[in-house]
Amino acid sequence: AQSVSQHNHHVILSEAASLELGCNYSYGGTVNLFWYVQYPGQHLQLLLKYFSGDPLVKGIKGFEAEFIKSKFSFNLRKPSVQWSDTAEYFCAVKSGGSYIPTFGRGTSLIVHP
Amino acid sequence: DTAVSQTPKYLVTQMGNDKSIKCEQNLGHDTMYWYKQDSKKFLKIMFSYNNKELIINETVPNRFSPKSPDKAHLNLHINSLELGDSAVYFCASSHHLSGGPGETQYFGPGTRLLVL
């Protein structure tokens, strides 16, 4: 069974700092990769996704993620965070034959103004 | 305008009661899901329905029974509520179940269930 690891459970940054959240998965075949964000008290929203093509994916709100197949990774980045980026971030991976994605346990990001 | 909606948003109830959570999507999607998010924010799939048919039923107690009256609705009924059922329940939908490129899940706002 595939698994998804988000190593940083809690990240605290000051505004304008750069962000990188790690995501690693275990499946070796074709994968579809997602990052979702959950703002406090709200539902999950899609930030970005990778299906094929350019491994550097740009999403909403200035976020991007890079798929590195050799490292089984799909790390999320943002060059300069804002207070409004405070949220939970979930990485999800769907393998080629799977009906549903497997979610990581999430990373809680707190940005100090 | 809401894509995936759930009611109620909050549900506080006593142990042993029976309750239902409703979910509706207006996206024309074929597939709907129920997820449980526990206190540690871990998101676990419970059920998936495709065109009103149960496709995925993870290890969930029999007290949980999903019902899909039509493609746009997937309701969750819970019997004999227990303390451990306290969580946030998210409904989601996607265009198809095929798992092919382009498949993205759209989530509802969540129902915060507290069992006392």
pLDDT digits (tens, 9 = 90+) for B67-93: 999 999 999 999 999 999 999 999 999
**Which tokens belong to A19?**
């962000």
Picking from B40, B101, B107, the nearest residue to A44 by CB comes out as B107
pLDDT digits (tens, 9 = 90+) for B32-57: 999 999 888 888 889 888 888 888 77
| pLDDT beyond 60 at B62 | yes
Report CB contact under 8 Å: B48, A99.
Answer: yes
| pLDDT beyond 80 at A77 | yes
Residue A77, strand partner residues: A20, A64
Residue type present at position B59:
T
Lowest pLDDT segment from A6-20, A98-112, B71-85: A98-112
| pLDDT beyond 70 at B99 | no
| pLDDT beyond 80 at B1 | no
| pLDDT beyond 70 at A23 | yes
pLDDT of residue B100: 57
Picking from A32, A43, A46, the nearest residue to B108 by CB comes out as A43
Contacts of A46 in chain B (CB under 8 A): 104-106
B43 vs A: CB within 8 A: yes
CA-based nearest residue to A96, from A25, A48, A10, A41: A25
- The answer to whether the bond into B109 is cis (omega within 30° of 0) is no
The beta-strand segments (E) located in chain A are: 4-5, 10-14, 19-21, 24-25, 31-38, 44-50, 56-58, 64-68, 73-78, 87-95, 102-103, 107-112
Q: What is the arithmetic mean of pLDDT over A30-41?
A: 91
pLDDT of residue A102: 87
Q: How far is B17 from chain A (nearest CA, A)?
A: 25
Q: What percent of chain B has pLDDT over 90?
A: 63
pLDDT of residue B97: 66
Report CB contact under 8 Å: B56, A51.
Answer: no
pLDDT of residue B89: 96
pLDDT of residue A113: 86
Residue A46, strand partner residues: A36
CA distances (Å), origin B59, targets A16, A56, B47: 43, 36, 9
pLDDT of residue A104: 92
Query: Do B108 and B23 touch, CB atoms closer than 8 A?
Result: yes
pLDDT of residue B78: 96
Phi, psi for residue B19 in degrees, rounded to 5: -140, 160
Contact residues, B window 86-105, toward A, CB-based 8 Å cutoff: 90, 92, 97, 99, 101-105
| pLDDT beyond 90 at A72 | yes
pLDDT of residue B2: 65
CA distances (Å), origin A77, targets A20, A59, A60, A65: 4, 10, 12, 6
**SS3 per residue for B41-63:** CCEEEEEEEECCEEEEECCCCCC
Report CB contact under 8 Å: A43, B90.
Answer: yes
Q: What is the arithmetic mean of pLDDT over A13-22?
A: 97
Contacts of A96 in chain B (CB under 8 A): 99
